[in-house]
Structure 1
């Protein structure tokens, strides 16, 4: 699976736990999927060491991967995300539809959420920009006009919860899963704004610890 291989290559390069994966796409057949890898870790803002001055570390920027369509069906997007989440050992995937925010009366927070979904306007969670940021900004503007989809899941493989892999019989020792995802995409028509796909089980709760 090419996307799975790209994600695992990023894990090997960054060498930090993967906290979450979020995916965004404008509600249009030709709009790419923008896949954000959110790392759990901090780094110094500068390599300089100034005597008597403490420079606090900043969150490691998220990595960004682009998956091109065209997407002739919304279910094709779901299938790509579900396959990736399954291989990475996620216990669930949350799919959310957000309406267009360029409409009269739309609250400002919806416009901010749209920008954040495409890697803009969030200083606390910086994003490593891709080589063609204009395409991503075009997708964000399209999402503001037509609405957009967003998916979120927390991987076990290479993530904070890898120590719990033994609690789920569907997971291998490294927190990954093999084979095709058995969870089928659900139609978007006639459903609410949020859908949760269940993939595995967890018997204990572990909370992330700040490094």
Structure 2
């Protein structure tokens, strides 16, 4: 995790994140008076869109201080916090909804992904909503080659290094469904997204509900 934090602190501050947020889909499930947490908020682009759409009780957290600092410069009114990872600094049942946009791809280890989801479950109210967008495995030669290298290096298929020093992960759909097994699936759709490096990748969007 420390290497990932270094990468996002040093390189992330200059990137433009491209995973799309469907405000119309989100608003079907989450009312405007909801308490919302953006886990892995980056520079707050999604919270800014929510704020512009009438949502007001918004909290963002990210382990990159430079991304949070950028977000506060661009939108000083946002509530963004940098933290070192691990347990979230919030009480149980603090939020009605949470966002994870392109977050799991930045968490290489399965156990750390599961721990992040357990923390979100703890901080969400019963019946709370989780909106997730992330990347799935691809079948083109470029990705197959780097998945192979990543498996040899890390022992996880779908994990790969990017040219500017980071490590990212694409996921099998069965893996994602296992991660989200503690939630009820309200919506799930596969799509193709443009990555922050300008490539196309298979991806998924899910709206999940706490029991």
The answer, yes or no, to whether TM exceeds 0.5 is: no
Task: Bin the TM-score by the shorter chain.
Answer: under 0.3
> Larger % of helix: which?
2
How high is the TM-score relative to the length of structure 2?
0.25
Greater C-alpha radius of gyration: 1
> Larger % of strand: which?
2
How high is the TM-score relative to the length of structure 1?
0.25
